Chain A
């Protein structure tokens, strides 16, 4: 095990897969000479050359679609969005073409492609740069969606995504890029998609979260333990589609109380689906209504004071947890 950052973990995953499979290329804005807007691809141009690490113009629709066309032909492109917010100008290419070509061709054509980049608020960049589209990406059959929260998951799951024969949307988080964590060093370290992780065991309450919310949930669980003698279990979904329904349900059956936390907006957010799942399949195990904390339901605000109040923070999550106890 080595301790590296989330950013370095992504870099390792990309580098190892590019080395392993000559059909893998990385393309996007500023990924090569500039070393990546968030330096995820630092050193890769020098190592792999401009045929594999490809700078594109600011044309998300064209380079996303180009990558889909190349994937249809058997390549395995990794498309970096500087922000997932920018996918909106490439919507047709991702959610019509990548998602539907296999189905519409009766299974004749595969689209082994990865779309990746940060999808988060919390960085004072305003509404246009702070979207968290994991909910509507996961709403599209044909697409897989993952939200790794730790360096190890970032590496293991990105490697899985690149080897996957279906389109995978990898939603990262700029605030996590500097997060350090232990990551296995072996080349074949992978984490399968669709496997949630119980990152803290507990018995009184299940806090179910994904992405950066996992870290907020862990902090709240620590506070609950230290100040309230409440034992909270924290489940990191890791993957939105496929979804590890078994791990969710077995945690609920154990603790009988559920708090869902996400930085997604609430209406038709990921946790709306999780809440449905729990009431549908573990209703008799619930000792209290399912509670939920999401981003405040407004366009993402610029001002730090506003945005800090908007994104689920320690105090808001703690308050909601206390309502359940």
Chain B
């Protein structure tokens, strides 16, 4: 249970870490416990219409089914390279994106399918990208780790751990420079908190009062290294403290809690132009990438325990049913539609054409893509198809 220690007291072990301060959820919990605080009573959630509540469920179900379908396609050999699945973490992206306003932007790391679908990217273009097809969101040039949709304020999809943290800062900087009351939600994993550029970014975010929200999706493992073996000084979000940045730790299996947490940070960004560091404790069910062995660093039981007690989709479904917004039947129907949509996206991807080798040379420079407006001279490329 090493990977869940940030959320758990292992039997017989006293947790006396200095980290337990006011920002940390008060109660300690064991895997399997359910928290008592009800975030559905928070204003940001009370104001949800029934349709919006059900939509949150739909979005999470769509991401789950998309990821499962892509896993199947990977296993069938249709998808190459790496496939970092978001299964288990769905409430984080869906909850966060659901409270964004029109000038709020998103950037994330390589586990990006969930965020992409949450901001409204189409399953077809995402699946086609995984298949390396011309119809993919990046025309087959980005792949799983590099989805982008600037028209939906989604700036990727970045493959290098922590490499997006200064970019998120720059997005926030540009918003402030242009006098927009917006912010940038910069997602990252727990592993990224040990990269240097993250700290440089925190310093600048605070020094320059930039509206950036760093969201550490702490799934307990940086690839196969459990948090206890990769990070000193818990909780991770406390690292914001040394730069006078407001920070908190919250749970990622409750979409209402995610909404409440993110909304607080957005208000801080919008109203005070101040950054936040939010650690959201979550869990991934699959390996770091699906090709990675999953049993070297955690047990099957650990995964099963989380699925059983904290699956964000099941918990939310139960809540919606209890609240009367959903029935078992309508939940099944939503799930069936999500599955159908995912299957259809795989069919679309399968039927789509592959990019032609001549397309290798497109999209490199703005200038070579816009020859009519070319200002440079000379040779730009030294080997072409």
Give A contacts to B, CB under 8 Å: 25, 51, 56-57, 59, 61-75, 92-93, 96-97, 101-110, 112, 141-142, 144, 160, 163-166, 192-196, 239, 241-246, 273
Segment from B32-40, B53-61, B312-320, B375-383 that makes contact with A: B375-383
Is chain B's interface secondary structure helix, strand, loop, or mixed overall? mixed
User: In the bound complex, how far is the Cα of B108 from the Cα of A220, in angstroms?
Assistant: 54
Interface residues of B in 110-169 (CB under 8 A from A): 136-142, 146, 148-151, 155-160, 163, 165-169
Residue B4 is within 8 A (CB to CB) of chain A in the complex: no
Segment from B14-22, B74-82, B218-226, B364-372 that makes contact with A: B364-372
Q: What are 23 A-B pairs at a CB distance below 8 A? A: A59-B200, A61-B166, A62-B197, A63-B200, A65-B167, A66-B167, A69-B168, A69-B173, A69-B174, A70-B174, A96-B160, A102-B365, A104-B142, A106-B142, A107-B363, A108-B151, A164-B367, A164-B376, A242-B377, A242-B378, A242-B379, A243-B379, A244-B377
User: In the bound complex, how far is the Cα of B170 from the Cα of A112, in angstroms?
Assistant: 13
A93 with B203, Cβ < 8 A, contacts A73-B170, A166-B365 known? no
Which range contains the number of B residues in contact with the other chain? 35 or more
A163 with B375, Cβ < 8 A, contacts A62-B201, A69-B169, A105-B146 known? yes
Q: Is the CB of A239 within 8 A of B203?
A: no
User: Which residue in B107, B138, B376 is a CB contact (below 8 Å) of A104?
Assistant: B138
User: Which residue in A65, A72, A142 is a CB contact (below 8 Å) of B165?
Assistant: A65
A56 with B204, Cβ < 8 A, contacts A104-B141, A107-B363, A107-B369 known? yes
Chain A residues in 8 Å Cβ range of B155: 69, 72, 109
Chain B residues in 8 Å Cβ range of A112: 366
Give B contacts to A, CB under 8 Å: 107, 136-142, 146, 148-151, 155-160, 163, 165-175, 177-178, 184, 196-197, 200-201, 203-204, 207, 362-367, 369-370, 375-382
Residue of A nearest to B148 (CB): A105
User: Which residue in A74, A104, A196 is a CB contact (below 8 Å) of B148?
Assistant: A104
Q: Is the CB of A109 within 8 A of B148?
A: yes
Q: Is the CB of B365 within 8 A of A96?
A: no
Shortest beta-carbon distance from B294 to chain A in Å: 28
Q: Is the CB of B362 within 8 A of A67?
A: no
Residue of B nearest to A99 (CB): B364
User: Which residue in B149, B163, B174 is a CB contact (below 8 Å) of A65?
Assistant: B163
Shortest beta-carbon distance from A15 to chain B in Å: 19
Q: Is the CB of B175 within 8 A of A68?
A: no
User: In the bound complex, how far is the Cα of B163 from the Cα of A239, in angstroms?
Assistant: 29
Chain A residues in 8 Å Cβ range of B160: 92, 96
User: In the bound complex, how far is the Cα of B166 from the Cα of A70, in angstroms?
Assistant: 10
Q: Rank and list the top 5 A-B pairs by shortest CB-CB distance, nearest first.
A: A69-B170, A65-B166, A194-B378, A62-B200, A107-B363
Chain B residues in 8 Å Cβ range of A57: 200, 203-204, 207
Residue of A nearest to B210 (CB): A66
Q: Is the CB of A65 within 8 A of B203?
A: no
Q: Is the CB of B378 within 8 A of A68?
A: no
Given A110-B366, A194-B377, A239-B376, 7 more A-B residue pairs with CB atoms under 8 Å apart are A57-B203, A69-B169, A73-B171, A73-B174, A104-B138, A243-B378, A245-B378
User: Which residue in A71, A75, A195 is a CB contact (below 8 Å) of B377?
Assistant: A195
User: In the bound complex, how far is the Cα of B136 from the Cα of A75, in angstroms?
Assistant: 27
Q: Is the CB of B163 within 8 A of A97?
A: yes
Q: Is the CB of B196 within 8 A of A61?
A: yes
Q: Is the CB of B200 within 8 A of A70?
A: no
User: In the bound complex, how far is the Cα of B155 from the Cα of A62, in angstroms?
Assistant: 17
Chain A residues in 8 Å Cβ range of B159: 96
Q: Is the CB of A106 within 8 A of B173?
A: no
Chain B residues in 8 Å Cβ range of A104: 138, 141-142, 146, 148, 156-157
Q: Is the CB of A70 within 8 A of B177?
A: yes
Chain B residues in 8 Å Cβ range of A245: 378-379
Shortest beta-carbon distance from B330 to chain A in Å: 36
Q: Is the CB of B362 within 8 A of A68?
A: no
A193 with B376, Cβ < 8 A, contacts A62-B169, A273-B382 known? yes
Shortest beta-carbon distance from B381 to chain A in Å: 7
Q: Is the CB of A103 within 8 A of B375?
A: no
A97 with B158, Cβ < 8 A, contacts A72-B170, A103-B364 known? yes
Q: Is the CB of A75 within 8 A of B142?
A: no
Chain A residues in 8 Å Cβ range of B364: 102-103, 141-142
Chain B residues in 8 Å Cβ range of A66: 166-167, 169-170, 173, 201, 204
A93 with B148, Cβ < 8 A, contacts A62-B200, A193-B377 known? no
A141 with B381, Cβ < 8 A, contacts A69-B170, A96-B163 known? yes
User: In the bound complex, how far is the Cα of B207 from the Cα of A137, in angstroms?
Assistant: 31
Chain A residues in 8 Å Cβ range of B375: 160, 163-164, 192-193
User: Which residue in B107, B150, B369, B376 is a CB contact (below 8 Å) of A194?
Assistant: B376
A59 with B204, Cβ < 8 A, contacts A65-B166, A92-B163, A195-B378 known? yes
Q: Is the CB of A166 within 8 A of B200?
A: no
User: In the bound complex, how far is the Cα of B155 from the Cα of A74, in angstroms?
Assistant: 13
Chain B residues in 8 Å Cβ range of A142: 364-365
Most chain B CB neighbours (cut-off 10 Å) among A67, A196, A242:
A242
Q: Is the CB of B167 within 8 A of A68?
A: yes
